[in-house]
């Protein structure tokens, strides 16, 4: 039975909340007994994920509030081979004003921004310059993105180069073979080295879940990355054949919940790849709220990795204000 969840994501009226700053996850020694004990009931996880869209719905002003929250949690991304400085500057302009001013005014909202801008290393200086003074962080994909198969020393050096160029967040990719072979020590050592190379920059560990073979592998890889000091765990590069899904997300956020219960440290979550519709974003927000609570609905603990999602959210917000759907060209990405 569908229910209209009559509240905004944080249980308050629509408003932009100040970005919080969670104490970083310092990691811990690798606990192989804990890793070995992790299981995943695939059928139960899939049933839970399948029922979520019908059980958690929001309407009218409440939906608008949730969609505005989603905007503030987007890592606005361009990771194309034909990226240019001009494209990145346009994307940064969109990050600074992701929703048209007339729509925000009609909703009674002040200015909002996206959570971050995510680019390749080559475009980091351009993005840093374009976002100067805004407080919007620049995230760089690193470590041989997307396959993670370049020499290890080069992957570590790539992190350092991106941090030196001004990136304050680094999205690293793990070596999938360590997970597929069950070599948890190798995965831990790799991610720990990446974390050390990041220094003060926050690290998001991309698991490439579509290539890990099972939800149990996803759960164990999530735990090992958190033990190694990941600030976020992230589903996908967006380049795999299967990217973010609700069952994978449920598996990963329950690993986050378990890690928090046992260590007291909060780790962020970033679903990425294939999330292009506002309705899908609402499902992810509802899952986060149900499983982890409202604290995980802030951009320091939750992000969407997306490029086209923002356009659909903006169209839905205009429909809420005017009662009409607009053409996509009225909401350019940059």
- Residues 246 and 14: their CA atoms lie apart, in Å, by 26
Asked about 231 being catalytic, the answer comes back as no
Cα distance between residue 200 and residue 213, in whole Å: 33
Give catalytic status of residue 270 as yes or no: yes
2 is catalytic: no
Q: Distance between CA atoms of 31 and 49, rounded to whole angstroms?
A: 29
Catalytic residue among 69, 94, 204, 270: 270
Alpha helix (H) ranges present in the chain?
Answer: 32-37, 42-55, 60-72, 85-96, 101-106, 124-130, 152-164, 176-180, 184-198, 215-227, 246-263, 278-292, 309-322
Sign of the CA dihedral with 236 first, then 241, 244, and 246 last: negative
Local structure of 215: helix, strand or coil: helix
CB atoms within 10 A of CB 269: 24
Alpha-carbon distance values, 96 to 23, 137, 200, 260, 303 (Å): 26, 11, 24, 32, 16
Tell me 231's DSSP state: S
CA angle (143, 148, 154) in 5-degree steps:
45
Tokens encoding 215: 């939800």
**Exactly one of 75, 94, 234, 300 is catalytic; which is it?**
234
Q: How far apart are CA 276 and CA 204, in angstroms?
A: 21
Which residue among 171, 231, 300, 312 is the active-site one? 171
CB 232 within 8 A of CB 265: no
Q: What is the CA radius of gyration of the chain?
A: 19
Residues belonging to the active site: 171, 234, 270
């Amino acid at each position: 039975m569908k229910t209209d969840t009559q509240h905004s994501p944080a249980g308050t009226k629509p408003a932009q909340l100040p970005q919080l700053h969670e104490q970083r996850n310092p990691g811990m020694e690798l606990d192989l007994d804990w890793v070995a004990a992790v299981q995943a009931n695939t059928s139960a996880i899939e049933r839970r994920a399948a029922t979520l869209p019908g059980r958690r719905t929001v309407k009218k002003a409440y939906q608008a509030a949730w969609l505005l929250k989603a905007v503030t949690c987007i890592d606005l991304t361009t990771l194309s081979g034909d990226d240019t400085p001009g494209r990145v500057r346009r994307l940064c302009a969109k990050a600074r004003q992701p929703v048209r001013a007339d729509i925000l005014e009609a909703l009674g909202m002040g200015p909002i921004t996206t959570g971050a801008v995510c680019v390749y290393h080559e475009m980091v200086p351009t993005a840093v310059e374009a976002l100067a003074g805004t407080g919007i962080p620049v995230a760089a994909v690193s470590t041989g993105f997307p396959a993670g198969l370049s020499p290890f020393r080069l992957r570590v050096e790539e992190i350092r180069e991106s941090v030196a160029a001004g990136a304050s967040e680094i999205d690293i990719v793990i070596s999938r073979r360590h997970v597929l072979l069950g070599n948890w020590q190798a995965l831990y050592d790799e991610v720990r080295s990446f974390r050390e190379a990041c220094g003060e920059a926050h690290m998001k560990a991309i698991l490439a879940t579509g290539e890990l073979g099972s939800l149990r592998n996803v759960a164990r890889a999530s735990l090992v990355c958190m033990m190694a000091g990941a600030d976020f765990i992230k589903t996908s590069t967006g380049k795999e054949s299967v990217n973010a899904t609700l069952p994978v997300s449920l598996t990963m956020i329950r690993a986050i919940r378990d890690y928090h219960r046992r260590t007291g440290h909060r780790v962020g979550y970033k679903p990425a790849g294939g999330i292009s519709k506002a309705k899908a974003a609402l499902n992810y927000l509802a899952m986060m709220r149900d499983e982890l609570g409202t604290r995980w609905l802030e951009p320091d603990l939750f992000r969407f990795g997306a490029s086209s999602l923002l356009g659909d959210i903006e169209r839905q917000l205009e429909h809420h204000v005017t009662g009409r759907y607009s053409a996509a060209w009225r909401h350019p990405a940059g």
